[in-house]
A and B are shown apart, each in its own frame.
Chain A
Amino acid sequence: MITYTSIFRMRFIAGLQYRAAAWAGIATQFAFGFMHLMIFQAFYRSSGTAPPMEWPQLVAYEWLQQAFLALIMLWWQDGDLLSGITDGNAAYELCRPYDLYTFWCMRLAAVRLSSAALKFSPVLIVSLFLPRAYRMTLPPNFAAFGLFLIAMTLSLTLVIALSMLVYILTFVTLSSMGSRLLVGVSADFMMGAIIPIPLMPVWAQRIVYCFPFRYVQDLPFRLYSGHISGADALAQIGVQIAWVAALILFGRWAFGRVMRRVVIQGG
């Protein structure tokens, strides 16, 4: 265990050094947050029917997305790890007495958490004091907040299990471009990062509900604002757990397979 906590601590501390990047990131996050909200506001004003998400729920959804971007974006992957696979530096990792799957998972978790740790509180705090139309709201009750925390923790595990598939695929294709684009683009749309899923047409909702991506962002953020609650919330967290378990089992199996036939690049 000390092996895995040690890599976590080291990457976490190393990640905290990037403060300038964090400030730049925060500015970007506000720019995107406002832009998205203004677009949605225009739609909400011009629509005659009752919207599927209340405006404050949508605002909370948007600011949570901006605050926790580092935890949920699947298009970001660890460049050092990817280049290690394609240029052969991963050779060293194969002759260490640890479980490489777990080790890489801890490493990925540390980088994401350190980046999120620098950014999430400034975004959330400032968004609580914005003009009323764009103001972040608190969850309706403690239950909603508790469910949000549980789903968010599971979401990080899910993101890492999905990310591992990118690294596994890179061992086979030797270029991370394809797998990153494939996972990144499909995930962004299907987890509701471009349009929140309740605002999608019903037929599109049916499709995205069949994939694991919505449990990364859609579920925890809607739990926060109470858009999903009660027995429904618990059932959906159950599905989230099932996805996490299935993806870890599949990832470990696939990882074991590529390890047996791995070819170290570059002599």
Chain B
Amino acid sequence: MITLANIHKTFKVAKREKGTAAALKSLFHREYRRVHALDGVSFHVDEGEIVGYIGPNGAGKSTSIKVMSGILVPDSGTCGIMGYTPWKQRREYVRHIGVVFGQRTQLWWDVPVSDSFDLLRDIYKVPQSEYRRNLDLLTETIGLQDFINTPLRQLSLGQRMRAEIAASLLHSPKVLFLDEPTIGLDAPSKLAVRRFIKDINAETKLTVILTTHDMNDIDALTDRVVLIGKGKILYDGAFSEIKNRSDHSALEEVIAELYREYEL
């Protein structure tokens, strides 16, 4: 379903010392530092799997998601998802995927959620019957009926995130990328989002890759984790194994220990 092989992506970051003199100097001569956001990333995901993609801030999680969703073009390496290369066959490819960036919004700020949904229906050219069916399923599983006619600006973060995830599923994608879908949510909203992802996965064989810093998300959803640090894949396997080999019982401690172990 998804195969990444030896993906590299470097960003050029301008280097500047602090202070006025350095600022003046940088007007004439700029030094750049190369940041290896992805340094030979490879992994494979099967259809219907849920994979937790974890790692500290700045490890390359979001960059990987953006490469897989066709937004960024990597410097080298191959990526095959459902037979497509995301950045080469972008327009045909993205019809089959859904993406949620937890820190951003894909819905329109000043119109009711249902209007944004209708626009997405037209963008993905979803047949009316399929759209109705998806919308009914989503309404039922995630409780959209309470706020579907409210403008986005008046929703709470929890409601908004539910609407965001629903929005990315209207066109029946086969793969769903979730970049921090539970960031900033309260406990009931987190539980609702997790239950929802599990239900949809069970019902439609949807393949899900999600990044998160909340290990309870992983614990609730899947046993397969991929750990990335400094642009490299460090661990790919069972979450239960990570838990078993740690002396700690609290998930936060387990992960902190894991990061220490890999010097992240």
Contacts and interface: CB of A to CB of B under 8 A. Distances in A.
B166 interface: no
Chain B interface residue number, banded: 20 to 34
Contacts, number: 66
B119 A92 contact: no
A95 B123 contact: no
Contacts of B73: 260-261
Nearest to B11: A263
A98 B66 contact: no
B123 A96 contact: yes
B111 A14 contact: yes
B32 interface: no
Given A88-B104, A89-B105, A97-B92, A6 B72 contact: no
A95 B125 contact: no
B66 A10 contact: no
Nearest to B110: A14
Given A14-B111, A98-B91, A260-B73, A92 B99 contact: yes
Given A2-B125, A10-B111, A267 B62 contact: yes
Contacts of A3: 122-123, 125
The binding surface of chain B is classed by DSSP as loop
User: Most chain-B CB neighbours within 10 Å: which of A10, A92, A98, A263?
Assistant: A92
Interface string A244-267: 000000000000000011111011
A267 B66 CA distance: 10
Contacts of B11: 263
A27 interface: no
A56 to B, nearest CB: 42
A43 B125 CA distance: 59
A95 B122 contact: no
B94 interface: yes
Given A91-B66, A97-B94, A10 B119 contact: yes
B115 to A, nearest CB: 6
B123 A98 contact: yes
Contact of B72 (A17, A264, A266): A264
A10 B124 contact: no
B234 interface: no
Contacts of A128: none
Chain A interface residue number, banded: 20 to 34
B64 interface: no
A7 interface: yes
B119 A94 contact: no
A97 B99 CA distance: 12
Nearest to A2: B122
A3 to B, nearest CB: 5
A10 B72 contact: no
B101 interface: yes
A91 B122 CA distance: 19
B124 A97 contact: yes
B104 A91 contact: yes
Contact of A91 (B71, B92, B123): B71
B124 A91 contact: no
A264 B73 CA distance: 11
A10 B70 contact: no
Contacts of A7: 119, 123
B216 interface: no
A101 B176 CA distance: 25
B48 to A, nearest CB: 22
Interface in B56-95: 58, 62, 66, 69-73, 91-92, 94-95
A264 B11 CA distance: 11
B97 interface: yes
Contacts of B154: none
A7 B122 CA distance: 9
A2 to B, nearest CB: 5
17 contacts: A6-B118, A10-B108, A14-B111, A17-B110, A80-B109, A91-B66, A92-B104, A95-B69, A96-B94, A98-B91, A99-B91, A260-B73, A261-B73, A262-B71, A262-B72, A264-B66, A264-B71
Interface of B: 11, 58, 62, 66, 69-73, 91-92, 94-95, 97, 99, 101, 103-106, 108-111, 115, 118-119, 122-125
Given A95-B70, A99-B91, A264-B66, 17 more contacts: A2-B122, A3-B125, A6-B119, A7-B123, A10-B108, A10-B111, A10-B118, A88-B104, A89-B104, A91-B101, A92-B104, A94-B70, A95-B69, A95-B99, A96-B94, A98-B91, A261-B73
Interface of A: 2-3, 5-7, 10, 14, 17, 80, 88-89, 91-92, 94-99, 260-264, 266-267
